[in-house]
Chain A
Amino acid sequence: TQLLEQSPQFLSIQEGENLTVYCNSSSVFSSLQWYRQEPGEGPVLLVTVVTGGEVKKLKRLTFQFGDARKDSSLHITAAQPGDTGLYLCAGARDQGAQKLVFGQGTRLTINP
């Protein structure tokens, strides 16, 4: 059972376009993180959201945590080839949780 469902799993768009990646669950999470991973490297933490309804911005990336803390979205404005990579969402079930639950990832390709 995949507790965190990411969609789409694959996305290929042209440079300059906007896109949104979704991370959904039927479970509540205390926090949710977004990571980006490039081929042959480890994931890099982009953001952590902890409050329902929270919105965080990182340059052209906007992250939102759902009001009920069951879902999150990542929106990229004016995508660039450097945004290409595997985007992973990961959630912590409670404050004491050691393990993170990972989504299956969204593989994003930005074509020049």
Chain B
Amino acid sequence: GAVVSQHPSRVICKSGTSVKIECRSLDFQATTMFWYRQFPKKSLMLMATSNEGSKATYEQGVEKDKFLINHASLTLSTLTVTSAHPEDSSFYICSARGRIWEQYFGPGTRLTVT
């Protein structure tokens, strides 16, 4: 149980375009999902908390207009990187909250902006 999927696993896009990443909880409902960014050989950096049916809560320094988050159902949250630039290239990981404290992570999406 507690499986979280992400799609796509890898994406290459041109500078200035937008990219949407999907995060799905496959066998449980998640009222709360999280989006992280991970730089090479570093720990996870929380970008935002996504709550089903309400606006996402962004961490300090994360541009909400650039990283659009939608959590329209109990099993799906999406992250859209708008007007992507090379500096947005990174490994993006989502997680879904299970029991009170536990988070279950997706496999990640490698974004490369050329």
Q: Which residues of A contact B (CB under 8 A)?
A: 30-31, 33, 35, 40-45, 48, 50, 88, 90, 92, 95, 97-100, 102-105, 107
Identify which of A30, A40, A95, A98 gathers the most chain B CB atoms within 10 Å of its CB: A98
**B93: contacting residue among A31, A42, A95, A104, CB under 8 A:** A42
A44 partner residues in chain B, CB cutoff 8 A? 105
When the two chains form the complex, which single residue of A30, A42, A50 contacts B105, counting CB atoms closer than 8 Å?
A: A42
- A35: nearest residue on chain B (CB-CB)? B105
Please name all residues of chain B whose beta carbon is closer than 8 Å to the beta carbon of A42 when the two chains form the complex.
4, 6, 93, 95, 105-108
- Interface positions of B (Cβ within 8 A of A): 2, 4, 6, 32, 34, 41-44, 46, 49, 91, 93, 95, 97, 99-108, 110
**Cross-chain contact A45 with B32 (CB below 8 angstroms):** no
Q: Is the interface of A mostly helix, strand, loop or mixed?
A: loop
What A residues does B32 contact at CB under 8 A?
98
What would 15 more interface pairs be, CB under 8 Å, given A40-B110, A95-B101?
A33-B103, A41-B108, A42-B4, A43-B105, A45-B2, A48-B101, A50-B101, A90-B103, A95-B100, A98-B97, A100-B101, A102-B43, A102-B46, A104-B43, A105-B43
Task: Kindly identify which residue among A30, A31, A103 contacts B43, using a CB–CB cutoff of 8 Å.
Answer: A103
Give chain B residues whose Cβ lies under 8 Å from the Cβ of A35. Answer: 105
The 9 closest A-B pairs by CB, nearest first: A42-B105, A92-B101, A31-B101, A105-B43, A104-B43, A43-B105, A42-B107, A42-B108, A42-B93
